[in-house]
Structure 1
Amino acid sequence: MLLKYKNFFSVLFSWIIFGGIIGIVVGSTTTLLLEINDYLGDDIRAKRDWLIILLPFGGLLIGYIYMNYGKVYLNHTNNDMAKSNNLVIDSVHGKKEVPLRMGPVVYLATFITVLFGGSTGREGAAVQMGGSVASAVNRFFKVNNLDKKILMMSGISAGFGSAFGAPITGAVFGMEMAALGKLKLEAFVPCLMASFVGHYITTAAWGHKHEEFIIQTLPEKSIITFIIIILLSVLFSLISVLYCQLRHGIEKVSENIFKKNHMKRAFVGGILIVLLTWMVGSQDYNGRGLQMLEQSFTEDVPPFAFLAKLVFTAITLGSGFFGGEAIPLFFIGATLGNALHTFIDLPLSFLAALGLIAVFCGGANTPIAAFLLAMEIFDGKGLEYFFVACLVSYLFSGHHGLWPSQQIYEPKSRLYQLVNGDTIENVETRKKRKQ
């Protein structure tokens, strides 16, 4: 009996220590990511519109980096860092390993993308740095195979929690991201530790201030209101599916055309973004788009802003640039909610918030984390509304998502008739073969 409790506290203590180490390092590196992105996007690119012309050449540089330094052979498997978050998910399942250099490489690629005007976010780089740091901890301390997977989840938690100032969300996101229908609660302690430490290192130790999104007014509770929210959530989920399908479609087509030559893919993708920017006549949809995202909570934005951002981001990331997809999904959802305010008699800021959360939920397939994110960034307002929105968006987005490597531990419904343990990528491939 004494030995059992000794082992229990030994494992618990090691998880707390490892989670804390991961949180400290990832919180610091995420602060670096956020501060440099702000500087490159707000202080340099926003004041120099001509930099967009250099985006294709930035793509060439990113392609060169990934073609020459992005593949590492470890444990008899080829680990391609160009798979980005999918490689981190595969490492959680023990299929692949995250190379130590992955974090620095994706940071450099993200900085190049932001500087020259590619449409991207930030959580992808933070999550991949989290995976890189967790991998380093696993190797340095020679962690056993079971705990390796748990610490990889902790790295994801630290990256997401510190990137968005949402430590509770980050803790659950690390466990929920890897598989649909499964939450490995055993990992909760190190994930929570890593996420909270990462968050407080970013905000308290380094003083970084995250964006604020404020819901000014909530609609009155009624059956009609909930029916409207359900219908809107279905629409938001379908928009997330449209983005995911377009983004993955561009990736596959560009890989086939250019025979997986990353330099050519990114160069042509950069040219397309330059042409689209010229056609639109503004750079509102380049970079992270934080200004319009915040504006969508307070005043009207262009009615088709959500569609422009969807196309810009799908081309940017589908052609080989890097960054993250959460901020673009926030933008798409919030601006679509803003546009719908013309037709729906619900508060503007609430519709923007609903779209932000529901589109992210549909794309990420993380309903619990999305709900918690709404509670954290909107100060707990509209609890019932966001709970319903996340549930509906998750169900109606089907087995599509941002990350093809996500495993389907259990289908979202028996109606889908899928095999447990399959991946989103395999499901989508079989659907296309039947068509």
Structure 2
Amino acid sequence: MNDNIFTSDFFSIVKNLLRWTLLIIPIAIAIGSMVALFLWLLSWATHFRFAHTYLLYLLPLAGVAIHFIYKLAGKPSEKGNNLIIDEIHQPDCGVPKRMAPVVLLTTVITHLFGGSAGREGTAVQIGGSIAQAFGKWFKLNPADTRTILIAGIAAGFGAVFGTPVTGAIFAMEVLTIGRIQYNALLPCLMASIIGDVTVATWGVHHTAYHIDVFASVPHWYAAYTAFDFLLLGKIILASVAFGLASYLFAYLVHGLKSFFAAIVPEPWLTPVLGGLIIIGLTALLGKPDYLGLGIDAEHAGAITIPSAFNAGGADTWSWLWKTIYTTVTLSSGFKGGEVTPLFYIGATLGNTLSVLMDAPVGLFAALGFIAVFAGATNTPLACTFMGIELFGSQYAVFFAVACFTAYFFSGHSGIYGSQRIGIAKTQGRYADAATLAEADKRRRGYMRQKLAKYRLK
């Protein structure tokens, strides 16, 4: 009897695996192909802007064009990643098929004219939109549609960064703080791997990062253990700063959006104001280093993510300027992701802290790269694996310490307002909040109360 039970269970597992494999393969190939096109267009837009620097002065007009594109063709898609997260938690009208082409077009426009944005948000929306379309074609039930959407996130993320394991874990971890959607484990892994392989097959390559080997300074405890506890202490302190940088970024993104809505009489004027601020900041600083993705160098000596891995490769306040540029860009209506700018912020902040703490530059840039992202998205496990996939496994312990520390010190904040709070980080005033948007609302209300009391005094 036990043998029959085992055999029945085994064939049920095999049947389910084959079913999901057949479902995922065409979806992931379609997502990977769309992401490959997106990355190619993004590279073209970036280098075209490098050759035609006057395009920056047309950024306000580009913002107006983006506003009307969404108003006329993409209104249901305007919530972006939050729409996909909401659909996974509480299915409503679905993710519109038009989301993929609209967000691809508007993100390329943002980068073509110098907006400071990323690419993760676009890839995730491409993944969710295509996955939803296939789900309808396959006539999947609500539970399977939910799984397909999660797998679509995994495929988009894994494909856009070339990190398939991270993509799978990110998709399962990002939905709810403190919980991982293990029921989508195999579909996510398959989708992320296939999406990444598809991008590579199209001949699109990702930026390679490298941490230079550094010599550990011998300490009095070297006779007892080879582990560098002093370096670990520096990493913990730096990771607190990474978490606070994540908090600042999330706070500014949401705060500036509310600020613009309050002071600008017409919605279409908001990107005009945002574009003018970006132009003014660039003129003030006298260099274009904080525009666009921040990966390729527009001129010799430009501050980029790769340059931050070398001594002298970033200014003291590069991380803050990129924070300001990106939050103004995204909160004023331009499109794109937040993650690549978060990489830039983290890597340049790590570069600055390495000088202050007399620590290895490449290692601290890498730690900031993943830890600021971990704090802003509340995905410490995924970001630990990202460190391993991008930089190697020899520093896995340091990666975990940095990501987990930044996760806690970013508080109940994040770039995705629809992210659910499954298990609160602390038993404070946000412990029973349902989403990060609700926690943010409570936080701002609390701050207004404190400010009112201060004024009365």
Tell me whether the two structures share a fold, i.e. TM-score over 0.5. yes
Matched, 1:303 2:316: yes
| Partner Cα distance (1:20, 1:230) in 2 | 41
| Partner Cα distance (2:157, 2:119) in 1 | 9
Contact 1:64 1:262 in 2 (8 A): no
| Partner Cα distance (2:20, 2:267) in 1 | 38
**CA radius of gyration, larger in:** 2
Matched, 1:20 2:25: yes
Judged with a 3 Å threshold, the aligned counterparts in structure 2 of structure 1 residues 144 and 341 are, in CA distance, closer, same or farther, namely same
Aligned to 1:429: 441
Residue type of the partner of 1:322?
Answer: K
Matched, 1:239 2:235: no
Aligned to 2:44: 39
Q: Give RMSD over aligned pairs.
A: 1.6
Q: Does the residue aligned with 2:199 lie in a helix, a strand or coil?
A: helix
Q: Does the residue aligned with 2:356 lie in a helix, a strand or coil?
A: coil
Question: Of 244, 252, 256, which residue of structure 2 is paired with 1:250?
Answer: 256
Unaligned runs of 5+ in 2: 217-226, 297-303, 448-457
Aligned to 1:395: 408
Residue type of the partner of 2:375?
Answer: G
| Partner Cα distance (1:248, 1:219) in 2 | 42
Q: Deviation string for 1:312-353 (max 9, x for gaps)?
A: 000000101011111100000101111122211111111111
Count matched residues.
Answer: 423
Question: Of 58, 61, 65, which residue of structure 1 is paired with 2:65?
Answer: 61
* Paired-residue identity, %: 39
Matched, 1:277 2:282: yes
Aligned to 1:126: 123
Aligned to 2:328: 315
Matched, 1:215 2:219: no
Residue type of the partner of 1:278?
Answer: A
Contact 1:62 1:263 in 2 (8 A): no
Contact 1:358 1:389 in 2 (8 A): yes
Matched, 1:286 2:286: no
Residue type of the partner of 2:399?
Answer: F
Matched, 1:185 2:198: no
Contact 1:219 1:225 in 2 (8 A): no
Contact 2:177 2:420 in 1 (8 A): yes
Q: Deviation string for 1:202-233 (max 9, x for gaps)?
A: 11x11211001100025633222111111110
Aligned to 1:330: 343
Aligned to 2:171: 174
Contact 2:430 2:439 in 1 (8 A): no
Judged with a 3 Å threshold, the aligned counterparts in structure 2 of structure 1 residues 213 and 56 are, in CA distance, closer, same or farther, namely same
| Partner Cα distance (2:285, 2:110) in 1 | 19
Question: Of 147, 153, 156, which residue of structure 1 is paired with 2:153?
Answer: 156
Per the TM alignment, residue 414 of structure 1 is displaced from its structure 2 partner at its CA by 3.2
Per the TM alignment, residue 23 of structure 1 is displaced from its structure 2 partner at its CA by 1.2
Residue type of the partner of 2:376?
Answer: G
Contact 1:237 1:397 in 2 (8 A): yes
User: What is the TM-score with the length of structure 2 in the denominator?
Assistant: 0.89
Unaligned runs of 5+ in 1: 72-79
| Partner Cα distance (2:146, 2:214) in 1 | 41
Aligned to 2:220: none
Q: Does the residue aligned with 1:233 lie in a helix, a strand or coil?
A: helix
| Partner Cα distance (1:434, 1:183) in 2 | 30
Judged with a 3 Å threshold, the aligned counterparts in structure 2 of structure 1 residues 38 and 343 are, in CA distance, closer, same or farther, namely same
Deviates more, 1:144-153 or 1:296-305: 296-305
Per the TM alignment, residue 99 of structure 1 is displaced from its structure 2 partner at its CA by 0.3
Aligned to 1:369: 382
Q: Deviation string for 1:26-81 (max 9, x for gaps)?
A: 11111111111011102x1011111100000000000001111223xxxxxxxx31
| Partner Cα distance (1:262, 1:103) in 2 | 23
Per the TM alignment, residue 415 of structure 1 is displaced from its structure 2 partner at its CA by 4.7
Contact 1:22 1:154 in 2 (8 A): no
User: What is the TM-score with the length of structure 1 in the denominator?
Assistant: 0.94
Contact 1:219 1:346 in 2 (8 A): no
Question: Of 236, 246, 255, which residue of structure 2 is paired with 1:230?
Answer: 236
Q: Deviation string for 1:79-117 (max 9, x for gaps)?
A: x31111111111111244210000100000001000000
Contact 2:417 2:435 in 1 (8 A): yes
Question: Of 419, 424, 428, which residue of structure 1 is paired with 2:432?
Answer: 419
Per the TM alignment, residue 434 of structure 1 is displaced from its structure 2 partner at its CA by 2.4
| Partner Cα distance (2:28, 2:287) in 1 | 39
Judged with a 3 Å threshold, the aligned counterparts in structure 2 of structure 1 residues 256 and 417 are, in CA distance, closer, same or farther, namely closer
Question: Of 148, 162, 165, which residue of structure 2 is paired with 1:165?
Answer: 162
| Partner Cα distance (2:283, 2:424) in 1 | 43
Matched, 1:84 2:60: no
